[in-house]
Amino acid sequence: MGFATNLQGQTAHEALLGRQDAEIKLLETMRRCLTTKVKSDREYASTISSLSNQGKKVERDADLVGSLITQGWRDIMESIDQTAKHIKQQADSMESAVVEHIGTLYAERRRARKLYQEEQIWLNNQFQQLTDDVARKKTEYQKSLEMYKVARSKFEEHYVKSGRGGRKLDDVREKYQKACRKLHLTHNEYVLLLNAVAECEHDLRTYYLPSLLRRQQAIHQEFIVAWKRILQDTVKYSDFTTEKFLEIHARMRAAVDSIKPLEEYKDFITKHRTRPASPLRLTFDENLVDDTSGKLLPYKLTVDNLTIDWLRSRLNELENCLKTTQQNRLAMQLINENNSDPSKMTVLDYSREREELRLRCQEKKLQRQAEVIRGALNELGCEELPSGCDLSMEGSFAEPPPIQKVPSRIDSLTNSQKGNGDLMEEEWFHGVLPREEVVRLLVVEGDFLVRETMRNDESQIVLSVCWDGHKHFIVQTTPEGHFRFEGPTFPSIPELIMHQWKSGLPVTSRSGAILKTPIFRERWELNNDDVILLEKIGRGNFGDVYKARLKPCETEVAVKTCKVTLPDEQKRKFLQEGRILKQYDHPNIVKLIGICVQKQPIMIVMELVPGGSLLTYLRKNAAAISQIEQLRMCRDAAAGMSYLESKFCIHRDLAARNCLVGFDSTVKISDFGMSREEEEYIVSDGMKQIPIKWTAPEALNFGKYTSLCDVWSYGVLMWEIFSKGGNPYSGMSNSQAREKIDAGFRLPAPDGTLEEVYRLMLHCWEYEPEKRPHFDQIYTIVERLCQVYSQVKIV
């Protein structure tokens, strides 16, 4: 049981200071009382000495010569005089051996308390300084983030207005690139600071604080030893050898002997025991990276063309600093080991130990930062350096681009491939398919394909291979216009790829990657040039929606486009809808025709549903929509959702706005951007884009999605249909609607709603998911209602 393990908390620290104050007060009392005792003993000795001198003056002693009584009296008086001298001697010894030592102990006790309090204050200041450093860096991060957002917004605005040319666009692009670089550097500094501060805080809490408390316990116990010695001397110089004094002395000795320095603070520690000091929770504020499109990740350094040179330079600086700090720390440690007696610590000793701790913290900070950078550089692992930001079509500028007209992507590709064969005709060439989609296609060791990307405003052809993970190799161009990796050169990229495939040689000696199986374009991958955009008919989360014509068959289609400035992560999410739709074939699910990824913009081509959005249709035709038509709309939606449920697809965004109206008012489920092909899906990326008023309580409260969550949304869709485009929970905010739903509130039935229909709505809105019907049951109920009310109408 000791100070270091039991007295780390703030309340224990305050109690220890209180204990020290009480002991100092006790020393004051002891010194005052013993000073009075010395004075009283001296006065008593003087009085009985005078008495004995007076008693020795016997009158008429000549007449008493030989008298035994007289001799006895004189002996008694002599004894009294000896007693006085002995008392005087005891008083002098008490003053020199006890009172003066108490004064010294009192001064040392006050000094020890002051040193302890100063060390505690210094330690608390260190913890506060660590917290303040992180807060300042976070503020700097937020400012950099705001500058980045403003610069990005201006760049996108000018890009749309002025296309790819113009001095104004170049100026805006340069400012955007600078803001992006500043954000990435600040992000890395924030990550490094958090790692460094965590190391320093750990040392302060687990090394310095316990060490300080161990020293304090040693000092306290040394004081008790000295204190006990003073009390022993007090007893010693209070012993006058009479029976009464012996009895008192025995009692005092027993009291003194009962003092055991090692157990002196046992009750005190038990009473004021606290848990060890909790570590400072210095965490990365993940809100800072929410608007960086996944480019910046919490706790992870960003290694890209904006930061790699800085990281390498920073690593060299850290390694040099670390070497110097280690040398200084070892020297200071040696000095402190030679002055390691806790009971004799001076201000200078504390200062040296504090300096050793500072060097130790600095060493740990530098080591940790160097490890983080070294690990990040080692994880790069592919020959294609990740991009830094989305300044260009797919990547970012490593340096400001030259002030000149930027060629289009397809022009750049064509210019770079003169004499290169028709790369676009090769089935293993996948155009501008995003890197994340490429990784999805390459699943077996040796699978490969070729794609195009943009780096520093230049088109680059990349060979992607599944090999020990995924490797990405940029096709190198020779001054003569030929193409190569590490081996021989070829006049065209198809010839280079065919040689690499047929030869069985590694693409690079470092990677060892061997080409085995080419991955051909899927039948869904259409040629961008075969899609002619006619007119804009809407806007989605990733770009505009157009009415278009498909060249080969002259069919009118609907086309969703993806903004060219979006990063690869967003393009991957955009293509997710196409991946899901291509598997489905149902009259109440919008049909996918194909995707276009050979060049920008990436597009999803779907059947054109002429009636447009169901929500818009309901509002425009509110007066003409009949009750049986509303039932058929609900039936169509239930049929489509029953089909999705059978395919284990969770839509997650079922609402009138995401349904389309075809011929004969047929409803088709659309907008699968949030869908997941799983029986159960747990959301881990926040609730920012979730439609609160359409979403089931378990999804909002726990992030857990199943098809029964879609059933809840279907109930709201029915309400929209029968309210002819009404706003659910009108007049309530999202948070208010959520609170009322949890409290049991449900939307009232729209005017004219059939009782059976509203009963089905309420069934869909059961709070417990397992109590809701499945879509096949819903379809059966709605189909029966359609048949019943169709016959009623006919009659």
CA distance 760 to 636: 16
What residue numbers does the annotated binding site for ATP cover? 537-545, 560
The tokens describing 427, both together, are: 């089935």
366-370, 486-490, 581-585, 625-629: range with lowest mean pLDDT: 581-585
Classified as helix, coil or strand, 466 is strand
pLDDT at 165: 66
Question: Using 50, 70 and 90 to split pLDDT, how confident is the model at 390?
Answer: very low
The tokens describing 103, both together, are: 């004064």
Question: Angle CA(776)–CA(782)–CA(788) in degrees, nearest 5?
Answer: 135
Instruction: Select from 3.40.50.1370, 3.30.505.10, 3.40.50.720, 2.60.40.10 the CATH code of 409-518.
Output: 3.30.505.10
Q: What is the pLDDT of residues 405-441, one digit of tens each?
A: 333 333 333 334 443 457 878 889 988 887 777 888 8
| Residue that the structure tokens 């001397």 belong to | 233
With beta carbons less than 8 A apart as the criterion, state whether 20 and 219 touch: no
Question: Using 50, 70 and 90 to split pLDDT, how confident is the model at 392?
Answer: very low
- Topology of domain 525-607 in CATH is Phosphorylase Kinase; domain 1 (3.30.200)
Burial (0-12, 13-18, 19+ Cβ within 10 Å), 717:
buried
Question: Using 50, 70 and 90 to split pLDDT, how confident is the model at 756?
Answer: very high
- For residue 606, list its beta bridge partners: 558, 592
pLDDT at 164: 59
What residue numbers does the annotated binding site cover? 537-545, 560
Q: What is the pLDDT of residues 622-672, one digit of tens each?
A: 999 999 999 999 999 999 999 999 988 898 899 999 999 998 889 999 887
pTM of the model: 0.46
Any idea which residues carry the catalytic annotation? 653
pLDDT greater than 50 at residue 208: yes
DSSP state of 283: -
Q: Cβ neighbours of residue 438 under 8 Å, at least 6 residues apart?
A: 430, 449, 451, 464, 470
pLDDT greater than 90 at residue 767: yes
- Topology of domain 3-56+66-302 in CATH is Substrate Binding Domain Of Dnak; Chain:A; Domain 2 (1.20.1270)
Architecture of the domain whose range is 614-794? Orthogonal Bundle (1.10)
